[in-house]
Amino acid sequence: MLIHSASQLLTLSGGPQRGTTLGELNLLPDGAVLTHGERIVEVGQSSDLLARHPHETLLDAGGRVVMPGFVDPHTHLIFAGDRAMEFEQRLQGKSYLEILASGGGILSTVKATRAASASQLTGLLRQRARQLLRLGTTTAEVKTGYGLELDSEIAQLMVIAEFSDPLSPDLVPTFLPAHAIPPEYKGDSAGYTRLVMDGMLPQAKDLWQQRFPGRPLPFVDVFCERGAFTLEESRLILSRAAALGFPLKIHADEFENLGGASLAAELGAASADHLVCTSPADIHTLAGSQTIAVSLPCTPFGLGETAYTPARDILKAGGLLALASDFNPGTAWSGNMQFVLALACRYLKLTPAQAIAAATINAAAAIQRDDSIGSLEPGKLAHLLILDTDDYRQLGYRFGANLVTTVIKNEQVISNPEDAGC
């Protein structure tokens, strides 16, 4: 297929963008992309590609922006139930961590999710994933973490890993049994930490290798926070995971600065996520590493807080910055990456170009997939969006609507209704 006549073809070519180099769109005016099967084979000027490939199936972008699909490197998309009641409690003055400490929060979603069958969870996942694709997300990381016991954590991991749907983003699984201390271990975080390290991680690895021989292991993540896992517990769990060969992620500094970002850098984690209360020293350490700083601006927005990731400091220090939605029922029930960009422009002070690069090529690096997605370059997967505008800066500037008219993925062209963008 030859997708041609893009007003602006945002190629994002050249790999992950560090520090203040963030925002290199490598934009081709009047651009075109030639795909064969599910891969991109050529990128160039429309006139040139149209002349050299006269027999290709044509898709006319009609003078609109064409760009890579969004990559969302941090979601909790698989859960049952909702927490509208806690939203109301928070508005009346209770804090997120107080609700968690009193057995609600994540633990209330754990109750609902444990009670759901695998087929119910698959149905909920499919419904949410399909919405994300229509909003332009073509790859999404998805975490377990609402089981907190071996069987149900493994069941969630299998639902994510076995999920396949032509109308959904590709999913990248993360194993997060260390999301909270389950009620069965209340007051015994050391005991639950041991269970994760000595029971859950080795069993998840064995089962994974039996079920999916040759497939890379999922990420292992930890919620390093007061009321969840201490820095030392996080270190123990992540070090064991690394020794077993799992790639790593961490939830760090969402509410307090415990040092999780530096731990991520030290252990060579793929990403450290949240980073709202990160200290200058931790920013410095993180920026000097290969670990991607993933900011989740929907989370402070969803909690009605005013502090966001110090993104400009991270860039000034030379860090690699990505954006994600954090879709979850507690703090951020939204997987709309266009809204994430709008928040990032306003509260992280990113330009639209920086936000786009953080949500494509750098987001791909945060899930170690930047060799196959995140930019429009020959050899990569043909995951493309056509926007309902000729100017990429409309992303970030406009919010609350869907500017994606068409998603191209796995040789399919999925079009949104014409009035979706108003």
Nearest to 389 by CA among 16, 23, 33, 67: 67
| Least gap, CB of 219 to Fe ion (angstroms) | 12
Choice between 299 and 354, CB closer to ligand NIG: 299
Spatial CB neighbours of 141, under 8 Å, sequence gap ≥ 6: 72, 73, 74, 75, 171, 172, 173, 174, 219, 324, 366, 367
- Token pair belonging to 79: 């859960």
With binding defined as CB under 6 A, does residue 73 bind ligand NIG?
no
With binding defined as CB under 6 A, does residue 170 bind ligand NIG?
no
Choice between 129 and 148, CB closer to ligand NIG: 148
Choice between 195 and 296, CB closer to ligand NIG: 296
* Binding track, positions 282-311, relative to ligand NIG; x by CB under 6 A: -----------------x------------
| Least gap, CB of 138 to Fe ion (angstroms) | 20
Which one among 326, 370, 377, 388 touches ligand NIG, defined by CB under 6 A?
A: 326
Residues 177-204 as b or e (16 or more Cβ within 10 Å = b): bbbbbbeebeeebeebbbbbbeebbeeb
Helix (H) or strand (E) holding 274: strand 271-274
Residue 344 touches which of Fe ion, ligand NIG, none (Cβ within 5-8 Å per kind): none
Sites for Fe ion among residues 319-358 (CB under 5 A): 326
Helix (H) or strand (E) holding 15: none
Only segment of 101-109, 213-221, 235-243, 370-378 that touches ligand NIG (CB under 6 A):
101-109
Sites for ligand NIG among residues 234-253 (CB under 6 A): 251
Choice between 43 and 160, CB closer to ligand NIG: 160
- Token pair belonging to 268: 């060579």
Which one among 46, 295, 328, 416 touches ligand NIG, defined by CB under 6 A?
A: 328
10 DSSP 8-state letter: E
Choice between 233 and 326, CB closer to ligand NIG: 326
| Least gap, CB of 123 to ligand NIG (angstroms) | 19
CA distances in angstroms from 360 to 12, 49, 337, 350, 413, listed in the order given: 8, 25, 10, 14, 20
Nearest to 394 by CA among 2, 38, 67, 1: 67
| Least gap, CB of 275 to Fe ion (angstroms) | 12
Check the CA dihedral 38-44-46-49 and report its sign: negative
CA–CA dist 222, 244 (Å, integer): 16
- Token pair belonging to 378: 């020959």
- Segments in 176-268 forming alpha helices (H): 189-194, 201-211, 231-244, 260-267
| Least gap, CB of 297 to ligand NIG (angstroms) | 12
| Least gap, CB of 337 to ligand NIG (angstroms) | 16
Choice between 124 and 408, CB closer to ligand NIG: 124
SS3 content of the chain, % helix, strand, coil (to 5): 40, 25, 40
Choice between 144 and 375, CB closer to Fe ion: 144
Only segment of 214-222, 324-332, 335-343, 391-399 that touches ligand NIG (CB under 6 A):
324-332
Measured between its terminal Cα atoms, the distance across the chain in Å is 28
Residue 68 touches which of ligand NIG, Fe ion, none (Cβ within 5-8 Å per kind): none
CA 170 to chain centre: 11
Residue 136 touches which of Fe ion, ligand NIG, none (Cβ within 5-8 Å per kind): none
Only segment of 4-12, 282-290, 308-316, 325-333 that touches ligand NIG (CB under 6 A):
325-333
CA–CA dist 284, 365 (Å, integer): 20
Which one among 170, 254, 282, 388 touches ligand NIG, defined by CB under 6 A?
A: 254
Residue 329 touches which of Fe ion, ligand NIG, none (Cβ within 5-8 Å per kind): ligand NIG
CA–CA dist 9, 282 (Å, integer): 36
Binding site for ligand NIG (CB under 6 A): 76, 105-106, 109, 223, 251, 254, 299, 326, 328-331
Binding site for Fe ion (CB under 5 A): 326
